[in-house]
Chain A
Amino acid sequence: MATPITTDPRRAIAEPLRWRWYEAAFWLVLLLPYLLFPTYLALASQIAIAALFALSLDLILGYAGVISLGHAAFFGIGAYFAAILVQRWGWREPFSGLLLSGAVAAAAGYVAALLIVKVSRLALLMVTLGMGVLLGEAANQLGWLTGGNDGLHEIAVLPLFGRFTFDLYGRTAFLYAFAVLLLLFLAARRIVQSPFGLSLRGLRENAARMPALGTPNRRRLRTIYTIAAFYAGVAGALLTQTIGSVALEALGFQRSAEVLIMLVLGGTGRLYGGIVGSILFLVARDQLADMNPQYWFFWIGLLLILVVLFIPGGIVGGVAKLWTRIGRGS
């Protein structure tokens, strides 16, 4: 049981941050659909986008401990902005469109954070819920800009690098979404493993204590909120660019709730939780929804309750625990 005494403090800090072989293996497995299930590539793209969105929520919820019921607001802003860029301004280059959409969502995140960092608990839930609902209705009313209930369609961006067109099978779309997810995952990994990331974990563990270390809590939270909103905006823009349309569901409450479910199922505060959760959620929905949509929600509700009760670290947390136990046993 005794933990070995590590005499080298630098190693003690560096050890948990090391790359593991199974991380590389995980990412290779994620590429498999491209080879094995070419007919499911549209679903695989959806999963990559949902995973990126869940990763965004993990940055604020899993690391900084700030819960949100309206995170789809930033996803939606990115999704709509990507469409508006193409339709109103004829800006059809996808990479810059993605970055610009992320930047607009980040700006919105910064403004939202000015208010969000001042509240906690129930007030925080209500403020984020209110923001999401408010933005949804605003998008509905601003029909001249957003297409209202009909949404915006036939959003065609230029081929990637001027060469790879978005094909009917979704091959380009999948590789595009996968590459963006991987890149932003690597960035997120760096962020959470930085001194800044450590201070986020401090905020999650005991925010009230942080000012006594000299931490300006609100400024720190505004920074991560802005970063997370950028991630969400990029995810939204990816959706618009890969399916060529955007509708009100992009920023509805349902999307905010689902991303929370995906992240909690997969496990918060581990970066991988959102990815695992979105795979589980979307694959299960794809398989079960054909039978009966209501039935599907019954099972996901049950699973959510069981996971929260019996494996509070989510699926990734549970696997990690099992892994260490096996490691110790042998």
Chain B
Amino acid sequence: MDADWEGKLSVPALRADTLMKNYGSLRVADAVSFTLPEGARYALIGPNGAGKTTLINLLTGIVRPDHGRVYLGGAEITGLDPDRRVKRGLARTFQINALFPGLTALESVTLAVAERVGLAPNWRRKLSACGEAIDEAHTLLRRLNLADDCVRPTRELSYGRQRLLEIALALATRPKVLLLDEPAAGVPAAESAELFEVIAALPGEIAVLFIEHDMHLVFRFASRIIVMAGGRILAEGPPAEIASDPEVRAVYLGGTEIRA
């Protein structure tokens, strides 16, 4: 249907094509289509229960759509298992800390690096002989200001640092597309701005889609906003356009003003 586009534009980093998902009679994704270009900084907003996390689950393969397709860099990935999608460059973080409580941050990220470079199935080599993977993990942790705490078990880290570790784990997979499910959820305001600075400083070629409720952060860091409600995409556009969209205000914000 968009054959005439493909010649002119570069292939989008991620594309969802009419994704549908029902849980019984509840429609959680209703013909969701959107594209995420290379290097995008998009926000996904919408009231609770709008289907934002479900959409991420559909894109990453944790939930299979009833209908529709997902393309990563032009290749269809709809039938791939979640781990295969990660290997192809589609990474995500979780809304609720989904870390490895008994592993240190360094071990966790080393694990993610080892998985990416194909070391993880190796049971004959000593971990201590995998210096490059360890160094890479440490460099990444340092970039996210986690180096000081990286040899303590994850369960001992503060909540804000655990949120950063979430991002570090996703980055260790060297994603082309990064889906962030409320990266700053539960983090105090001051720290969440810091967290978003880290996200903003990510390499330009990574396409980022983040779910966020704090409109200040959304308007500051997103170049484009996708609004969901009731499993549908209600509106999509640049922040200024979304802020003045009466339908968005009515459904999402209950008529209150959006301050950009």
| A-contact 0/1 string along B148-165, CB 8 Å cutoff | 101110000000000000
Size band of the interface chain A makes with B: 35 or more
B residues 110-166 touching A (CB-CB < 8 Å):
110-112, 114-116, 119-128, 130-131, 133-135, 137-138, 148, 150-152
Report which B residues bind A (CB closer than 8 A). Answer: 60, 62, 81-84, 86-87, 91-92, 94, 98-104, 106-108, 110-112, 114-116, 119-128, 130-131, 133-135, 137-138, 148, 150-152, 169-170, 172-173
For residues 262 through 298 of chain A, which have their beta carbon under 8 Å from a beta carbon of chain B?
none
Chain A positions within 8 Å of B, measured between CB atoms, are 3, 5-6, 9-10, 12-14, 17, 190-191, 193-199, 201-202, 204-206, 208-217, 219-220, 223, 227
- For the complex, what is the distance from the CA of A197 to the CA of B110, rounded to whole Å? 12
Q: Contact check, A13 vs B123: say whether CB atoms are below 8 A apart.
A: no
* Minimum-distance CB pairs A-B, first 10: A9-B138, A14-B128, A196-B123, A205-B100, A214-B86, A211-B82, A211-B83, A195-B114, A195-B119, A209-B98
| Contact residues in A for B114 (Cβ distance below 8 Å) | 195, 198-199
In the assembled complex, how far is the CB of residue A224 from the closest CB belonging to chain B, in whole angstroms? Answer: 8
| Pair B99/A194 contact, Cβ less than 8 Å | no
- How far apart are B166's CB and chain A's nearest CB, in angstroms? 10
Given contacts A5-B148, A195-B127, A215-B115, contact A202 B106 (CB under 8 A): no
In addition to A195-B114, A196-B122, A223-B123, 19 A-B residue pairs with Cβ atoms within 8 Å of each other are A13-B106, A14-B128, A17-B128, A190-B126, A193-B126, A194-B125, A195-B121, A196-B121, A198-B107, A199-B114, A201-B102, A201-B103, A204-B102, A205-B102, A209-B94, A213-B86, A215-B115, A216-B84, A220-B120
Q: Is the CB of A214 within 8 A of B87?
A: yes
- Quick check: A217 and B83 within 8 Å, CB to CB? yes
B106 touches which one: A9, A199, A227 (CB < 8 A)? A9
Q: Once the chains bind, are A212 and B60 in contact (CB under 8 Å)?
A: yes
Which chain B residue shows the least CB distance to A227?
Answer: B123
Contact check: which of B107, B130, B169 meets A213 at CB < 8 Å? B169
Give the distance to chain A from B72, nearest Cβ to Cβ, in Å: 14
CB distance from B170 to the nearest CB of A (A): 7
CA distance in complex: A217, B86 (Å)? 13
